[in-house]
Amino acid sequence: MIKSLKPPIKVFGNIHGDYIDLMRFLDIWGCPSESGDISGYDYLFLGNYVDKGCQSLEVICLLMALKLKYPKQIFMLRGNHEDRNVNKYLGLGQECTRRLGEDINDPNSIFQKLNDMFEYMPLAAIINDKGTNNKVFCVHAGIGSTLQKVEDIDKI
């Protein structure tokens, strides 16, 4: 549930199905590639990949492809929109129905399979600079009032 990472790392959040913005981020801050900076930097995405925008499928497919190509440099946390009860009504469900022509209630639908994958994503990351002993705690939008310590996240 908590991913331990080390700097240098680039952190991105709240893409919300906006593929053009994702491409703009990667253009401005550097795209993970052999000809880019993947050997020097890791990439952390803080969640909310889907919903609101009209290209959730492109966003999540690109991020999954990057994760498959660079499994030790690309990290993805789960945001509140990576929940089937949220994204069913706020964009991803409608996009899968409209663009893929699928019944999102079918257990074998792309919609359900994406949400199954989301359930495996960690909820938090700690970037730990061992040289300075500085730590940065990363989550999508906070830990809520019921958690008292970082270790409580592992119990979820």
Q: What is the pLDDT of residues 39-88, one digit of tens each?
A: 889 999 999 999 999 999 999 999 999 999 999 999 999 999 999 999 99
Residue 123 CB neighbours (<10 A):
18
Residue 61 φ then ψ, to 5°: -65, -40
Structural domain that includes position 50 = 2-155
Residue type, 96: C
State how many domains the chain has.
Answer: 1
Give the predicted TM-score (pTM) of the model. 0.88
Q: Give the mean pLDDT of 113-141.
A: 89
Please give the average per-residue pLDDT across 135-146, as a whole number: 77
Q: What CATH number did the domain enclosing 29 receive?
A: 3.60.21.10
Q: Which of 13, 43, 47, 81 is catalytic?
A: 81
Residue 31: band (very low, low, confident or very high) from pLDDT cuts 50, 70, 90: confident
Higher per-residue pLDDT: 4 or 97: 97
81 is catalytic: yes
